[in-house]
Amino acid sequence: MKLVIVSGLSGSGKSIALNTLEDLGYYCVDNLPVGLLAPFAAQLHASLHPSQELAAVGIDARNHPEDLQRFRDILRELGDNIDVEVIFLQADDETLLKRFSETRRRHPLTGEGVSLADAIRRERDLLEPISASAALHIDTTHTNVHQLRDLVQERVAGEASGRLSLLFKSFGFKHGVPEDADFVFDVRCLPNPHWEAHLRPLTGRDAAVAEYLETQPGVERMFEQIRDFLVEWIPQFEREKRRYLTVAMGCTGGQHRSVYLAERLGKYFASRYPSVLVRHRELS
């Protein structure tokens, strides 16, 4: 039996992630009290019903704080017969504030004398034990509903092979560093196609940009050294039973250099791993 625990900050997309898992055939329960996690898993495992071999539960900050602090101990109570995976969704404070303002929803931790900003900070603290236990972190700051649904579907379905799921992500530093990255490589030192007028409107996926970068000093060496670093260390993560690894490539705007290198690395590792995704945050 496989059990996926979906948690994260209010407004970060937990419901979307849980609904996506339901569409994938998971038996889903939202807002389960943490203290009932072990009995719930035991009941499903004992039933041996085919429709419940894949299950997912949503857990949020409305649990008792002491139960949230005991999260790791509760996970140990589930036993070895249940394959447990924790997914944690997050977004930056400004994005969460905007989402709540636009939807007019009430944050579950707001109340008399507690502002929305204070509630978000309090929620981050309460959910830290779950975040620390998560195998997969998803930063939805720059992700819309459709992109989040695709990402959850692709990563969870790809992980079913039992091998490590790799995501290569490009981004622009001027829009912030993605919080869900395991490795961040800064490639702003490479020659920038932005300063070539005929390349400026193009992206790192276009042949003209690739041809330009491949003639520039240092680009090939940067690719080879990042590639060799990952070739050496990814197997170490696999031996530690890691399910997911996100490698982020950052340049100034996230349009040319980082996109080019993320594409090249994705193609290289796609021939070695069954689940390799490439995403370009700023192009979306």
Give me the CATH number covering residue 120.
3.40.50.300
Query: Do residues 120 and 200 both lie within one domain?
Result: no
| Tally of CB atoms within 10 A around 201 | 9
Q: Which residues contact 269 (CB under 8 A, 6 or more apart)?
A: 166, 168, 230, 234, 276
Task: Locate 174 and state its tokens.
Answer: 């001027």
CA dist 252 and 69 (Å) reads 39
The total domain count for the chain is: 2
The overall longest dimension of the chain from CA atoms, in Å, is 65
Final residue of a structural domain among 110, 127, 159: 159
Query: Do residues 192 and 227 both lie within one domain?
Result: yes
Query: Do residues 76 and 182 both lie within one domain?
Result: no
Least confident of 153-162, 192-201, 268-277: 153-162
Q: Is the pTM of this model over 0.85?
A: no
* 97-108: pLDDT as tens digits: 999 988 878 899
Least confident of 48-52, 133-137, 238-242: 48-52
Judge whether residue 8 has pLDDT over 90: yes
Final residue of a structural domain among 118, 142, 159: 159
3-state SS, 151-187, equals HHHHHHHHHCCCCCEEEEEEEEHHHCCCCCCCEEEEC
Judge whether residue 161 has pLDDT over 60: no
Judge whether residue 49 has pLDDT over 80: no
Q: What is the pLDDT of residue 160?
A: 56
* 54 or 203: which leads in pLDDT: 203
3-state SS, 183-247, equals EEEECCCCCCHHHCCCCCCCCCCCHHHHHHHHCCCCHHHHHHHHHHHHHHHHHHHHHCCCCEEEE
Judge whether residue 14 has pLDDT over 90: yes
CA dist 138 and 101 (Å) reads 22
The C-alpha R_g of the chain, in whole angstroms, comes to: 21
* 254-272: pLDDT as tens digits: 999 999 999 999 999 999 9
Q: What is the pLDDT of residue 154?
A: 86
Range of the domain at 60: 2-159
Handedness of CA 228, 230, 236, 241 (dihedral sign): negative
